[in-house]
Structure 1
Amino acid sequence: MPSLSDRSKRATLVVALALLVAALALPSVNTLPGFSDHTGPSDLRVAEFERLDAGCADAVGDYAGGSIGDGRISKVTTVRAPSAAAPLSVRVERTSPPGADLSTFAVRVDAHEAGAGSASGTTGGNAVASTESGAGSCPTEIQYRAVLKMRGGSPEGLLPDAHGIRVAWYENGRFWGCSSSVTSPLNGSCAALADSRPVWANATAG
């Protein structure tokens, strides 16, 4: 006759098997009570946008850098422009579907002909920064600083869940680098984004 210890072990095994079968029957562990699907941010908006310098390419400040963290992405770099007086615009487009673990965005910075913009600020969802500097005969660059703020997305649950954000930067229509922050096993590589096109439009002024 089985001992009490043996019956307890068998009962424990039956319960464990039942839980395993139930878990396998679910589409995701995140559907269990106490779990949630941690996703990347659903929204990325322009928080700050300013021009720092403008003029001949060999005279403009050559500092470039960026950071990502604490819900913000910042970048300082230069963009080629038709003149030092050219206004700049920046817009953000989401290129991943809602609820994606890896949120992907395209940030497009463009330098326009002088007169295309007249004031710094945000208009029609685009941030525009302009100056009245004169144009020269040399190749011209404008140094700018952009700060983007992340919003939305699902918070983490009881256990860690893969999530992240990847941002492709375009300057005057050309792919110009990428910023990403992901958790394993997501792939934060930017190689596939050089020719990406926006699919889900997203508001940018904020």
Structure 2
Amino acid sequence: MVPSPSWRRVAVAALAGLAIGLLLGPSVNALPGFSDHTGPSEMRVTSFDRLEAGCAEQVATRAGSAYDAGNYTKTAFVRTGSVDANLSARVVRTSPPGADLSTFRVRVDSHHEGPANATCETGVLYRVTITPGGGSPEGLVPDAHGTRVLWLENGEYAGCSGSVTSPLETGCSRFRPGDGEPRQVWANGSGAAT
């Protein structure tokens, strides 16, 4: 069966539109039906629990992290100096809107007044869950996308989580102390250089 002339015109018009879109558009994702799949555009704290407080050797034994159904959960011990310290958690987006790799920073900070406990390394075991939202959906053509979460406790590195598709990399190693940079060696200046 030979296609009718009207069917040929529709096919030629569709191919011409596709060719023009490829030539004029910034990428194939600009064409109808295609999409630039990105990571989430936002992340929010959905639960934050203070589990236990005390000395590190007694309390800090149940640490861990999990990724389930898009949610990131971290259970960790933060040094506070006092069992009565208050904790706060917040999430900040650090990547520009529309980035393929959506990056976030989660800060858990402790606040206490008075002297620190001098008998042991005192802190609080906490659990925080963050939930993503937004971002661009998948299109007809697979597109690289992902999420990286940098965890900080009292401003110090406390871990890095990520979920990406190839060829993206989370790049978490550059945040770990001593990784991705030359190690520094410290010495006093009293000896002669060799």
TM-score by length of 1: 0.71
Residue deviations 1:5-30 (CA, integer Å, cap 9, x gap): xxxxxxxxxx9899568525531110
Give the SS at the match of 2:112: coil
Query: Could you say what the CA RMSD is over the residues aligned between the two structures, in angstroms?
Result: 2.5
Distance 1:61 1:22, change over 3 A: closer
Change (3 A) 1:70 1:54: same
1:150 paired with 2:152, answer: no
Task: Quote how far apart the aligned CAs of 1:175 are.
Answer: 1.2
Residue in 2 aligned with 1:125?
none
Equivalent residue runs for 1:16-31 within 5 Å: 23-31=22-30
Q: Secondary structure at the match of 1:91?
A: strand
Moved more, 65-74 or 164-173: 65-74
Aligned to 1:174: 156
Alpha-carbon distance, 1:37 to partner: 0.8
| Partner AA of 1:50 in structure 2 | D
Per-residue CA deviation, residues 160-186 of structure 1 (Å, 9 max, x unaligned), is: 111110000011111111000001111
Distance between the aligned counterparts of 1:183 and 1:165, measured in 2?
Answer: 9
- Where do residues 64-143 of structure 1 align in structure 2 (5 Å cutoff)? 64-114=63-113, 137-143=119-125
Distance 1:166 1:99 in 2: 14
1:192 aligns with 2:174: yes
What is the letter of the counterpart of residue 110 of structure 1? D
Shift of 1:187: 1.1
CA distance in 2, matches of 1:193, 1:94: 16
Specify the alignment match of 1:8 in structure 2: none
Amino acid at match of 1:100: A
Percent identity, aligned pairs only, is 55
Name the SS of the counterpart of 1:58 in structure 2: helix
**Contact between 2:62 and 2:76, CA under 8 Å: does it hold in 1?**
yes
* Counterpart secondary structure, 1:175: strand
Q: Which moved more, 1:137-146 or 1:17-26?
A: 17-26
Taking structure 2 as the reference length, the TM-score comes to 0.76
CA distance in 2, matches of 1:89, 1:139: 20
- Deviation digits for residues 39-81 of structure 1, max 9, x if unmatched? 1001100000011111011111411111123121111111111
* Aligned length, in residue pairs: 164
1:63 aligned counterpart, secondary structure:
coil
- Structure 2 unaligned segments of length 5 or more: list them: 1-13, 178-194
1:39 aligns to what? 38
